[in-house]
Amino acid sequence: MIQELNTPNKVVGAKQVRRALKDGRVARFYMAMDADPRLLQPLVQAAVNQQVPVEQVPTMKDLGGACGIAVGSAVAALLK
């Protein structure tokens, strides 16, 4: 499933994911298990409230790599 993030139809990072969730544009939400829970909790709650599937990725490095960026990422989202 994480291979889906290798497309241009995604957003990466908490700010962009938060904005996409607010706008109702998220098809699938990805979160890194080693990210700060204080950052993840409100985003996961918003995704669950909108009935968006939530996928867990082991590390921020794995998620960043799947998104095609050179740094780790706590969250990412595949857009509709």
For residue 3, the model assigns a pLDDT of 84
Name the pTM for this structure: 0.93
- Classify domain 2-79 at the CATH class level: alpha beta
Phi and psi at residue 76, to the nearest 5°: -155, 160
Distance between CA 18 and CA 32 in Å, rounded? 15
| More confident: 2 or 42 | 42
Mean pLDDT calculated for residue range 7-29: 95
In the prediction, which pLDDT does 56 show? 96
Would you list the domain boundaries of the chain?
A: 2-79
